[in-house]
Structure 1
Amino acid sequence: MKLPDLEAWAVFASVVEHRSFSAAAQAIGVNKATVSKAIARLEARLGQSLFHRTSRRLALTEAGKPLAEHARRLLADAHAAEEAARDGAQSPGGRIRVAAPLGFGIANVAPLLARFLAEHPRVEIDLQLSDVRIDIVAEGVDVALRIADLPDSSLRARRLGDIRTHLVAAPDYLAAYGTPSHPFELARHRLLTYSNTPGSWRFHSGSGEEASIHPHGPLAANSGEALVPSLLAGLGIARLPGFIIGPHLRSGALVELLPDWPAPAIGLHLLTPPGRLRPARVEALIAFLGEHLRDPCEGA
């Protein structure tokens, strides 16, 4: 049986990542001719072209697109195997790229990473905070935290806990517009919405009754924190997680509405790229976050 050309697959993965033969050559420390020969060998072996080449642009062919993911996995597994061997003789080290939602990342993840770094001085962390859902494979993310119902995918996912959301408004708003006693009454109110999770607001009563509405109102934002000033100013009602509005609930600046109609909990998931091998530093961070984010925060 002829062995696979692992060097060519690794070069292919580097070209995909860096989007040019020259940049890939520089990244892996070889000349451009070596990269070109490796890609030519792989194309000859596979019997198909992997790239469309012009003087200004390099793009994957339709055949090359699915193979790029295989190449990424092969290269990642090879790196993980080497790092696991090295880390067996010393404490984990190296860079970990972490992605998390903005508000949750600031309130819950950043403090934990400070503790993790203190315990693992050889580790470096690149923390990316955004409420925009990213492709963690394409962005080279090692660990991502996501608050959402997850669709089926090739990503490895672990549910860490549940995030609770609260329907809230300021006392001034309720004095002006009244307090709803049933979810269907929300259709007559000014609703502030989180645009990254479009769709219905669903509610479940203690007696088993269900209700849903399609929220609309004067403000939609792709950041939950961006809704808080309008909430506090008495401009509407919003449904937000406890890690964003918890302090305002405790101070009385916001009031929880329809407590007998709680919204379904949203899962807090830890995601990693596909593949069985992970560097020791990534395994250590996954274990650490899994332990400390099982119960993220009161009301979250």
Structure 2
Amino acid sequence: MRLPDLEAWAIFASVVEHRSFSAAADAIGLSKATVSKAVSRLETQLGQSLFNRTSRHLSLTEAGRPLAERAARILVEARCAEEAAHDSASAPEGRVRLAAPMSFGVKNVAPLLAEFLAAHPGIEIEFHLSDARVDIVAEGYDLALRIADLPDSSLRARRLCSIAASIVAAPAYIATHGEPTHPGQLGEHRLLGYTNITGPWRFRGPGGAEVSVRAEGPLAANSGEAMMPTLLAGLGIARLPEFILGDTLETGALVPILKDWTPAPVGLHLMTPPSPLRPARVEALIAFLSERLRD
């Protein structure tokens, strides 16, 4: 039985991670020619192209996309096997790639990373902030924090806590359009939607009553911060968490509405690639963030 070309699979995973042959070659200490030959060798064995190549752009083919995830698993598990022996005899060290939502990451995660790095001088963190959903496996992240509904996925997810939200509007909006007193009235209003959370707005009210309302209005965005100017201008009603609202409720720039009704909370999840094998440095950060963000 012919053994798989594990070196070619690992090099392919590195090219996907670094998004270029040259960057992958620099990262793993090989020549660009060696990297290119390894990928070509793998393509020959598989009988299909893995990349679309031009002079300026490199992208995965339809066949290459699902194989990229498998290659990433091979590379991660091989690294974990090597690092497990090393980590058993020394403190965790090396780089961890972490992704998080922009506003939550700046306000809630960044201060924790300072504490973590002080306690683990051998670990480096590459902190990626974006309100877009990153592809953890294809883009080579070790873990990601997400505040969103989670679709069915091969990723491993751990729910850390619930994040409460408030229904708010600017005084100018209420003066023009009136203040709804029941969630069922929201269908008559202009609602600002957060696209990372799919489905209707759900409420629980007096006596355990439950109501769902579909958000429709002048703006839908994948960033709560991006919704704030439209909200403050009095152009709609939004459902936002406290870390986005800041002091706007205290200053009166925004006012809470439907105070007798509780919006369904959204979960904060810690996501990791599907393999249960992880280097000690990644496990250390997972344990730290799970403890600090639990509440």
TM-score (normalizing by structure 1):
0.85
Matches within 5 A, 1:129-168: 129-168=129-168
Structure 2 residue aligned with 1:216: 216
Matches within 5 A, 1:196-211: 196-197=196-197, 199-211=199-211
Instruction: Give per-residue Cα distances to partners, 1:199-238, cap 9 Å, x unaligned.
Output: 4222222323332223333444332123223433433321
Counterpart-to-counterpart distance in 2, 1:162 and 1:203: 15
Structure 1 residue aligned with 2:123: 123
Aligned residues: 294
Structure 1 residue aligned with 2:265: 265
Instruction: Give per-residue Cα distances to partners, 1:82-128, cap 9 Å, x unaligned.
Output: 22322223222221111111111111111111111111122221111
How far is the alpha carbon of 1:257 from its aligned partner? 1.4
Counterpart-to-counterpart distance in 1, 2:23 and 2:128: 24
Q: 1:63 to 1:207 in 2, by over 3 A?
A: same
Instruction: Give per-residue Cα distances to partners, 1:163-209, cap 9 Å, x unaligned.
Output: 11110123343344322111121222233333444542222223233
Q: 1:33 to 1:225 in 2, by over 3 A?
A: closer
- Which letter maps to 1:160? L
How far is the alpha carbon of 1:131 from its aligned partner? 0.9
How far is the alpha carbon of 1:139 from its aligned partner? 1.5
Counterpart-to-counterpart distance in 1, 2:236 and 2:53: 54
How far is the alpha carbon of 1:18 from its aligned partner? 4.8
Q: 1:94 to 1:197 in 2, by over 3 A?
A: same
Structure 2 residue aligned with 1:48: 47
Report whether the alignment pairs 1:11 with 2:11.
Answer: yes
How far is the alpha carbon of 1:292 from its aligned partner? 0.8
Instruction: Give per-residue Cα distances to partners, 1:25-73, cap 9 Å, x unaligned.
Output: 44433345544554565456x5533546777577656554433322211
Query: Is 1:146–1:269's contact at 8 Å kept on the other side of the alignment?
Result: yes
User: CA RMSD of the aligned region, Å?
Assistant: 2.8
TM-score (normalizing by structure 2):
0.86
- Which letter maps to 2:180? P
How far is the alpha carbon of 1:7 from its aligned partner? 2.1
Matches within 5 A, 1:62-141: 63-141=63-141
How far is the alpha carbon of 1:153 from its aligned partner? 0.9
- Which letter maps to 1:287? A
Instruction: State the identity %.
Output: 65
Counterpart-to-counterpart distance in 1, 2:51 and 2:232: 54
Counterpart-to-counterpart distance in 2, 1:207 and 1:147: 29
Counterpart-to-counterpart distance in 2, 1:150 and 1:13: 25
Q: Which moved more, 1:30-39 or 1:200-209?
A: 30-39
Query: Is 2:68–2:138's contact at 8 Å kept on the other side of the alignment?
Result: no
SS in 2 for 1:207: helix
- Structure 2's unaligned 5+ residue stretches are none
Q: Which moved more, 1:13-22 or 1:212-221?
A: 13-22
- Structure 1's unaligned 5+ residue stretches are 296-300
- Which letter maps to 2:132? V
Counterpart-to-counterpart distance in 1, 2:151 and 2:95: 28
Q: Which moved more, 1:12-21 or 1:158-167?
A: 12-21
Q: 1:212 to 1:293 in 2, by over 3 A?
A: same
Q: Which moved more, 1:108-117 or 1:200-209?
A: 200-209
Q: Which moved more, 1:68-77 or 1:86-95?
A: 86-95
Instruction: Give per-residue Cα distances to partners, 1:241-276, cap 9 Å, x unaligned.
Output: 121115323444432211222121111100011212
Query: Is 1:48–1:63's contact at 8 Å kept on the other side of the alignment?
Result: no
Structure 2 residue aligned with 1:298: none
Structure 2 residue aligned with 1:178: 178
